[in-house]
Amino acid sequence: MTVAEEFEEANTKYVAKFDKGSLALPPARKVAVVVCMDARIDPAAALGLTEGDAHVIRNAGGRASDALRSVIISQRLLGTREIVVIHHTDCGMLTFSDAELRDIVKKDTGESVDHIAFLPFSDLEQSVKDDVHFFENSPLVLNVPVSGYIYDVKSGKIKKVEDDVEDKAK
């Protein structure tokens, strides 16, 4: 059985008990969470979320610039008024550079991906600060509270990342 077929089977069981069909389209807690796609992170369990609570936007590294399109939609059309950025320990984004990945793709496919920024980072805490600042300073993002955290994949604990530098006003 393929994994997709396993999903179909699991969905049949899920549907039998499904009772969330009347949830409103906008997230109840008015928050967008930008988090890494790493399979070791379950944002709902880690943050105490249930269906309908939040927009959870996942991408490699939980990078802000990659999530911008979704955050704009979340804020402008669906009323979110807070952003939480979560990166994590033992992240694959700490293990390569854009140049290294571009070389791998070119070697494997013959195609150039020089136009793609894969957004790796070398300092986990700084990457959170950079992404918080990205949202705080983007003219496309509403002036809302933005918080940053590091999720520890060994313990499940989140740690707030504080910035010593005052943020510039929009």
Position 112 pLDDT exceeds 60: yes
- Is 114 inside a domain boundary? yes
Two structure tokens written together for 52: 């309908």
Instruction: Please state, rounded to an integer, the average pLDDT across all residues of the chain.
Output: 96
Q: List the CATH number of the domain containing 81.
A: 3.40.1050.10
Two structure tokens written together for 48: 């105490």
- Is 92 inside a domain boundary? yes
pLDDT band for position 119 (cuts 50, 70, 90): very high
- Is 100 inside a domain boundary? yes
Question: What residues pair up with 94 in beta bridges, in sequence order?
Answer: none
* 54-59 vs 31-36, strand pairing mode: parallel
Q: How far is residue 84 from each of residues 11, 105, 122, 125, 151, measured CA to CA in Å?
A: 29, 32, 21, 14, 12
Note the pLDDT tens digit of each residue in 41-77. 999 999 999 999 999 999 999 999 999 999 999 999 9
Position 96 pLDDT exceeds 90: yes
User: Could you identify the residue written with the tokens 């109840």?
Assistant: 28
pTM over 0.95: no
Task: Evaluate whether 155 touches 164 at the Cβ level (below 8 Å).
Answer: no
Position 168 pLDDT exceeds 90: no
- Is 140 inside a domain boundary? yes
Domain that holds residue 115: 25-160
Residues in the chain: 170
